[in-house]
Every structure is written in structure tokens, then in C-alpha cells.
Amino acid sequence: MIHPIVTFGHASLRCESRVVPTVTDEIRRLAADLIDTMHEASGVGLAAPQIGREAAVCVIDIPPDAEKPVCRAFNAAVPMPLVLINPEILATEGSQRNNEGCLSFPEIYAVISRPNQVTVAFHALDASRQTLTVQGLLARAVMHEIDHLNGVLLVDRMSQVQKLAVAGKLRRLKKEAKQA
Ligand SMILES: [Zn+2]
């Protein structure tokens, strides 16, 4: 089922997600809805707070040809779409600076620094605890979605200068969220 995606200014984006105690059919349905909604919006990642839900669940789907060859090879074994339940960053390495967007910030992009590699522990859909190490765009997406589960948004990762550059767009989004 496809859900409306809430945008900047909506209170649910600032909530810290709740740990999922058991991976139930309801959680599996939520993951499927997140995947459908992400695909419908042509996004590469989506987190539960973006559809107004509190569970610590996020999904990612990076097309292989979007990655640099070296990262594509490193990430080759990762199944897509990737569902992360209760994800937790265990380690990061290196750094990358690239353009980043967010479905909750339509038309807003900014160059953001992040680690180039991340190791994350999470529960999979079958409730098993797993660990993954990924690089490049996929690592960026994992960290961006985990930020969402902590109530941290793209705007929080932007410099003052970057924020000033999109101040008008941010104001408009906030105003729209208030009226919704
Ligand atoms: Zn986002």
C-alpha cells in the first residue's frame, strides 16, 4: 500500500523511532508499504517516520548502476530492496562528500559529508540479527535512513550557508506542513 510521504515541518519526522520488539506480520506489512511508497516516489530510501509511523524500520533500494564501480563490487552481495529493522551503526570508516536529497525535502539537495563505509547491525524480515558493511551511495543511504529513525534530518546535516541557500524552500515546506 502506498502512503503519503510527510515533508519537513511535520512533527513525526522529529520523533525518535521505537525499537521493534518482535518482527510481526504488521512490521513485515509496514516494510512492504515503505518499499511500495519509496518506489512510487522514485526514491532510493524511506524510513517509517516519513509515513507517520514510529517503528524503527527503514528500506533502501539503490540501483547497481548508480554506484561507482568500486563500491558496486563491494556492495554486490547486498540484497535489494534492503529492509533494516532496529538498525544500529557499529563502525564507520573514511569519508565521502556527495549530493544528498530526501523525499521529505522535495527539490532540496545539498553536498553532505559522511563516512564512506558503514557497518550496521539490524534485524532482517525473518527476525534474524544480521551485520552488513557497505560503501559509497549505499552507505550514505543507510546513514541517512538511520538519521530519520533518530529524528535527524537532511537540514541538520547542512552548513549555515547551505541552509541560507534553501531558506525560502524550507519556509514554504514548513508553512505547507502547518496547513496540512
Ligand atoms: Zn530522507
Number of domains in the chain: 1
CB-based contact 149:89 (threshold 8 Å): no
pLDDT band at 178 (very low <50, low <70, confident <90, very high): confident
Centroid of ligand 1 to alpha carbon of 173 (angstroms): 14
Centroid of ligand 1 to alpha carbon of 141 (angstroms): 9
- Residues annotated as catalytic are 145
In a domain, 17, yes or no: yes
CATH of the domain at 124: 3.90.45.10
In a domain, 29, yes or no: yes
**Who contacts 100 (Cβ-Cβ below 8 Å, separation ≥6)?**
109, 110, 111, 112, 114, 140, 144, 154, 157
Q: Which pLDDT value is given to residue 175?
A: 94
**Who contacts 91 (Cβ-Cβ below 8 Å, separation ≥6)?**
118, 119, 133
**Who contacts 158 (Cβ-Cβ below 8 Å, separation ≥6)?**
110, 112, 166
- Please give the C-alpha separations between residue 27 and each of 24, 31, 155, in angstroms, as whole numbers: 5, 6, 28
In a domain, 137, yes or no: yes
pLDDT band at 64 (very low <50, low <70, confident <90, very high): confident
Centroid of ligand 1 to alpha carbon of 23 (angstroms): 23
CB-based contact 1:34 (threshold 8 Å): no
- CB neighbour burial string for 68-88, b if at least 16 within 10 angstroms, e if fewer: eeebbebbeeeeebbbbbbbb
Determine the structural domain holding residue 29 and report its residue range.
11-179
The mean pLDDT of the chain is 96
Predicted TM-score (pTM) of this structure: 0.97
pLDDT(17) > 80 = yes
Give 75-134 pLDDT, tens digit per residue: 999 999 999 999 999 999 999 999 999 999 999 999 999 999 999 999 999 999 999 999
In a domain, 5, yes or no: no
In a domain, 64, yes or no: yes
In a domain, 60, yes or no: yes
In a domain, 65, yes or no: yes
Q: Which pLDDT value is given to residue 16?
A: 95
In a domain, 85, yes or no: yes
Beta strand pairing call for 117-123 and 110-114: unpaired
